[in-house]
Structure 1
């Protein structure tokens, strides 16, 4: 007999006095081994400087740490901030030779494009059904911000995410254990999504791209992430670029796909 734990999730605006450390923890998870390339404290401060945009999901009231978050940053407006320069340089370098070949031009300092960088992450035991609510809130908040003449008239949305592939376990190799899954030589690795909504966003995107992290883990790193797989797990970075005109339809599609069953 399986035990079922009912948990009530609540949505909140980001709280500068409360959420700093929680956001940093979630961003470390989002950027994985490359998180050390960025000033996450500065990034958390920037996110918290716009508390009326974006949301957190909590289980124990507003004073508790977030289990999930979603926010958006205008890369053009904040282009002079060092942490945004770090992020922009990083994302530009990772988009080369991909379907996102136009991204470097969009993110160049002289570009007139208004690219909104969406950062979103949740702990692994948080259900994906929290995602539609965060995206829906974002749409409403952007509309309210525009009515107040705030700089959120985006031309494009860039979603920073992560995916993973399964790789043969080093532990299994060392112990000569039989594994249930064996990939044929030369076969392409299947891509799995930490955020299932990414597959829906792909259908509305200009393009998307998966890339290797700059700071690769050691050989045993994939086995440390075996909590939900018999195989070793190799995380990779992922980006999705969506034109502003198609973003609302993309959010509605995510909501339809991940609609909680009643």
Structure 2
């Protein structure tokens, strides 16, 4: 069943024009219909698995992705996919939440929890996770997993979070186990690194001013998901971490798009108390709404 339909203008680079990007003539505007659906067990398995692999990046091989997708699809009335060619097409984006306590006995979830605890151990602001995820704790932590194609407009995100809030409310009314005390968003950030291609060509890389925040090497931290910057302001803790698996040489250059610096991704965790989730989603919607 389609949840909601919206029309968003999506920018795509024209096939010709000034490569510097200084002219508006470099872009064509395309009208694309985005449709929101419940996760569909019959058609979404491979699309969701691909998006999870993208979300977990270099460490995706550490997780049982098929089992995690099966878990997401086992709760089809919770969470959303975004498609552009009807319900039978592959998702271009998704959002779901997993009750880490309810599914603590699932081997795939156990692996994910242990991974999260290991990464959070190096982040003082995430120290609460150790007690929250302890088997003796009464806390109910909802793990939010969401990912999308890199060229998807950000305006598709707030409706997914808004619908998730509604679905959780309905699930609680039906006495389903979604009365969360906390939400943990698993996401990703990146830093810019010197391009190996520039070094090989003996060309000096241009310096670029980064955003607020810094990594261990002093560079700016960027968000793949701009909504994370808003969620982080409402969080009780957040932090980025290096992946366990090292990228192959040259991977940073392979991930750069229309920029001169290489891109080095890292994981990112955001922990929110349940009563802060609604105002965080509202602020996110205001931040990502199209500017007049």
TM normalised by structure 2 equals: 0.87
Q: Which residue of 2 aligns with 1:154?
A: 180
Q: Which residue of 1 aligns with 2:104?
A: 79
Is 1:112 aligned with 2:142? Answer: no
> Which of 151, 161, 166 lines up with 2:192 in the alignment?
166
Where is the strand percentage greater, Structure 1 or Structure 2? Answer: 2
Residue 219 of structure 1: CA displacement?
Answer: 2.6
Query: 2:240 & 2:258 partners in 1: Cα distance?
Result: 21
Q: Which residue of 2 aligns with 1:103?
A: 129
Residue 105 of structure 1: CA displacement?
Answer: 1.4
Q: Which residue of 2 aligns with 1:234?
A: 264
Q: Which residue of 2 aligns with 1:188?
A: 218
Q: Which residue of 1 aligns with 2:76?
A: 51
* Higher alpha-carbon deviation: 88-97 or 170-179: 170-179
Residue 172 of structure 1: CA displacement?
Answer: 1.0
> Which of 201, 216, 219 lines up with 1:175 in the alignment?
201
SS in 1 for 2:28: coil
Residue 188 of structure 1: CA displacement?
Answer: 1.4
Query: 2:69 & 2:43 partners in 1: Cα distance?
Result: 11
Q: Which residue of 2 aligns with 1:14?
A: 39
Query: 2:49 & 2:264 partners in 1: Cα distance?
Result: 22
* Residues 94 and 59 (structure 1), Cα distance of their counterparts in 2 relative to 1, 3 Å cut: same
SS in 2 for 1:119: strand
Aligned residues: 260
> Which of 231, 247, 251 lines up with 2:277 in the alignment?
247
Query: 2:193 & 2:43 partners in 1: Cα distance?
Result: 39
* Residues 204 and 182 (structure 1), Cα distance of their counterparts in 2 relative to 1, 3 Å cut: closer
Residue 187 of structure 1: CA displacement?
Answer: 6.7
Query: 1:116 & 1:187 partners in 2: Cα distance?
Result: 32
**Dislocated runs of 4+, deviation >2 Å:** none
SS in 1 for 2:259: coil
Cα deviation digits, residues 68-125 of structure 1 (max 9, x gap): 0000000000000000000000000000131101111111222211000000000001
- Which runs of 5 or more structure 1 residues have no equivalent in the other structure? none
Residue 261 of structure 1: CA displacement?
Answer: 4.1
The 8 Å contact of residues 225 and 233 in structure 1, kept in 2 or not, is answered as yes
- Root-mean-square deviation (CA, aligned residues, Å) is 1.3
Q: Which residue of 2 aligns with 1:141?
A: 167
Could you say which structure has the greater relative contact order, defined with CA pairs below 8 angstroms and 6 or more residues apart?
A: 1
- Which runs of 5 or more structure 2 residues have no equivalent in the other structure? 1-24, 210-215
Query: 1:117 & 1:180 partners in 2: Cα distance?
Result: 39
Query: 2:258 & 2:63 partners in 1: Cα distance?
Result: 28
> Which of 4, 19, 32 lines up with 2:57 in the alignment?
32
The 8 Å contact of residues 170 and 219 in structure 1, kept in 2 or not, is answered as no
> Which of 71, 75, 92 lines up with 1:67 in the alignment?
92
